[in-house]
Amino acid sequence: MSTPATTTHVPVVIVGAGPSGLLLGQLLHKSGIENIILEQRSPDYVLSRIRAGVLEQVAVEMLEKAGAAERMHAEGLPHEGIELLYFGKRHRIDLKALTGGKQVMVYGQTEVTRDLMDVRAAAGLTTVYEALNVQPFDFLEGEKPRVRYEKDGQTHEITCDFIAGCDGFHGVCRASAPADKIKTFEKVYPFGWLGLLSDTPPVSEELIYASSERGFALCSQRSLSRSRYYLQVPLTDKVEDWSDEAFWEELKRRVDPETAAKLVTGPSIEKSIAPLRSFVTEPMRFGRMFLAGDAAHIVPPTGAKGLNLAASDVGYLWQGLVDFYQNKSEAGIDSYSEKALRRIWKAEHFSWWMTMLMHDFAEDGGFNAKMQEAELHYIFTSENGARVLAENYVGLPM
């Protein structure tokens, strides 16, 4: 890399302007800690990614603290229950009754990102979009990490106190950690989710997680007029192989007749296939660089935990950095990785468990199907069984 055209100093450099980076930036700003975000893509590209849309109370509170919760409270849909469909019969899990009054907020991640972008822009904070070849340096030892990047053909360098790697699963920060200091844990599932977004009213007021002999399906929603549906598909399927008509027909076959009859179909606005993966990095701190969100962990979407875990990581990191700058204490940043990982592993377990519980694993000779039957029967007949699901679904405390 050539000599930098500019060198500046900013206390915290955040890599990545997804929900993790934007939320951290806003919370730090509220606490008087200056930060800059470097994002390799354009704002439009960031907003074009369609992801899950279920927020735990912890995530809702974090958005409130960031001053980015107004539209969510106006337009988001609080949900007090979910339904599990098994062998053609729907069973309601009363989240609110089972958890002493807790619920979840249905509000798309794209909207969360847009709201965070808007408050950041309104506060006049710097986000460098289309920052190329972002590279962290000198973070492992000492107190003077640096980040270099290229923009419009020029190299820039920022010296800082801390680097926050909020750059997602494919980011540069985790990849820059020394191989002998990082351990990863991974499980890849033998199927993907084909998702379809459409401007049609949701088939049901509440989300339906459907287990069927033809595979898993999920009936979700973004608003009262926009639906999101998913089908479990083999990893070999290509999105081009699935016409909208084929999608709707298959969805109808995987739900109960009453739901199928109510389903309003329409043209897709977006359709994509995502593989399912469980992945965790340990630790989440490398000297003066921290990882947060998808940069450090991935969950299969079945438990809707991805964005919620990103929010709790950011919450812990924010507290740690506030401790450092305002209280001159390193206790918060020293315990960040351990605290975050304790919560992450619980959500990893729940997401894995929900995935095993609801999907078709035909190739295992039927053993998993029997485990599902036993577990689901327990959930449907025991309040304690249902409560375990409900407590995890609404989110464990931070």
Chain residues that interact with ligand APR, rule: CB under 6 A: 15-21, 38-41, 46, 51-52, 109, 131, 134, 166-168, 170-172, 293-295, 306-307, 310
Residues 54-83 that bind ligand PHB (CB under 6 A): 54
Torsion of CA 340, 343, 345, 350, to 10 degrees: -150
Nearer residue to ligand APR within complex by CB, 176 or 265: 176
CA angle (6, 12, 18) in 5-degree steps? 100
Position 195: which residue type?
G
29 belongs to the catalytic site: no
* Interaction of residue 301 with ligand PHB, rule CB under 6 A: yes
The radius of gyration of the chain from alpha carbons, rounded to an integer in Å, stands at: 22
* Interaction of residue 203 with ligand PHB, rule CB under 6 A: no
Nearer residue to ligand PHB within complex by CB, 27 or 304: 304
267 belongs to the catalytic site: no
129 belongs to the catalytic site: no
Nearer residue to ligand PHB within complex by CB, 54 or 233: 54
Shortest Å, Cβ 15 to ligand APR: 5
Shortest Å, Cβ 389 to ligand APR: 20
Nearer residue to ligand APR within complex by CB, 220 or 265: 220
* Interaction of residue 302 with ligand PHB, rule CB under 6 A: yes
163 binds, among ligand PHB, ligand APR, none (CB under 5 to 8 A by kind): none
Please tell me which residue in 29, 79, 339, 359 is annotated as part of the active site: 79
Among 14, 304, 314, 344, binds ligand PHB (CB under 6 A): 304
Q: Are 45 and 95 in contact (CB under 8 A)?
A: no
149 belongs to the catalytic site: no
304 binds, among ligand APR, ligand PHB, none (CB under 5 to 8 A by kind): ligand PHB
Shortest Å, Cβ 223 to ligand PHB: 11
Please tell me which residue in 305, 316, 339, 359 is annotated as part of the active site: 305
302 binds, among ligand APR, ligand PHB, none (CB under 5 to 8 A by kind): ligand PHB
As a three-state string, the secondary structure of the chain is: CCCCCEEEECCEEEECCCHHHHHHHHHHHHCCCCEEEECCCCHHHHHCCCCCCEECHHHHHHHHHCCCCHHHHHHCEEECCEEEEECCEEEEECHHHHCCCCCEEECCHHHHHHHHHHHHHHCCCCEECCCEEEEEECCCCCCCCEEEEEECCEEEEEECCEEEECCCCCCHHHHHCCHHHCEEEEEEEEEEEEEEEECCCCCCCCCEEEECCCCCEEEEEEECCEEEEEEEECCCCCHHHCCHHHHHHHHHHHCCHHHHHHCCCCCEEEEEEEEEEEEEEECCEECCEEECHHHCEECCHHHCCHHHHHHHHHHHHHHHHHHHHHHCCCHHHHHHHHHHHHHHHHHHHHHHHHHHHHCCCHHHCCHHHHHHHHHHHHHHHCHHHHHHHHHHHHCCCC
Instruction: Report the largest interatomic distance among the alpha carbons of the chain, rounded to a whole angstrom.
Output: 67
Residues 224-253 that bind ligand PHB (CB under 6 A): 228
Shortest Å, Cβ 263 to ligand APR: 26
Please tell me which residue in 86, 107, 189, 209 is annotated as part of the active site: 209
Shortest Å, Cβ 226 to ligand PHB: 10
395 binds, among ligand APR, ligand PHB, none (CB under 5 to 8 A by kind): none
171 binds, among ligand PHB, ligand APR, none (CB under 5 to 8 A by kind): ligand APR
Give the interface segment with ligand PHB, choosing from 27-35, 66-74, 179-187, 301-309 (CB under 6 A).
Answer: 301-309
By annotation, the residues acting in catalysis are 79, 209, 301, 305, 393
- Interface residues with ligand PHB (CB under 6 A) are 52-54, 207, 218, 220, 228, 301-302, 304
